[in-house]
Amino acid sequence: MAWLIELGAFALPFLLYALWLRVGGRRMEPSRATLSLAAVGIACMLAGALYYGLSRSLERGERYVPAQFEGGRIRR
């Protein structure tokens, strides 16, 4: 479900730009610049996801201990 929020956050500026063009009475044609910006945005999103996935791993032999709720506070 989180991917849907990320996709919406990515698409929002493009949708607002399309709305702005529509209200202004201009004809919207996807230009090379728009498609290039979309490709750069997708590449940055994938690079960030890859970096985050690789940097959040446990060391070999390390055991995962989930957070615990004790006395009204979260303890790690």
Own/partner pairs, 32-39, CB within 8 angstroms, 24+ separation: 38/14
Percent of the chain with pLDDT over 90: 12
pLDDT score, position 1: 67
Which is more confidently placed, 57 or 62? 62
How many CA atoms lie within 13 Å of 24's alpha carbon, on the beta-carbon side?
A: 9
13 pLDDT higher than 80: yes
pLDDT score, position 47: 93
pLDDT tens, residue by residue, 21-49: 778 776 666 777 778 888 888 999 999 99
Percent of the chain with pLDDT over 70: 91
